[in-house]
Amino acid sequence: MSEIPDTTAYLIAGYTLFVLGTAAYIIYLTVKWKKIVRLKSEQADLLKRRQQH
């Protein structure tokens, strides 16, 4: 009976890539989202102040 090859290191590398790659994209989206929400809120304040003047 042949032995099962030890490819554990490649399994770890594969799933590390999945986790880090996906996490990086979620972080990228979160940063972009926070930035745009802050910009929108600043614009709303600016519009309000201009309408008051």
Partner 1 sequence: MQSLFPKKYLLLDIIATILILCAAAMVFLYAPTETNMGLVQKVFYFHVAYAWVGMLSFVVACAFSIVYLSKKDLRCDLASEAAVEIGLVFTLLAVGSGSIWARPIWNTWWTWDPRLTTTTIMALVYIGSMFLRKSIDDPNKRGRILSIYCIIGCASVPLTFFSIRGYRSIHPVVIGGASSGMNMTPEMLQTLIFSVIAFTAFYLALLAHRYTYAKVREDVEITKLELEDMDE
Binding site for partner 1 (CB under 8 A): 2, 4-8, 10-11, 13-15, 17-18, 21-22, 25, 29-30, 32-34, 36-40, 43, 46-47, 50
Residues 17 and 23: their CA atoms lie apart, in Å, by 10
Residues 13 and 5: their CA atoms lie apart, in Å, by 16
- The least distance separating partner 1 from the CB of residue 33, rounded to whole angstroms, comes to 5
- The least distance separating partner 1 from the CB of residue 19, rounded to whole angstroms, comes to 10
Distances (CA, A) of 34 to 6, 41, 45, 50: 44, 11, 17, 25
- The least distance separating partner 1 from the CB of residue 51, rounded to whole angstroms, comes to 10
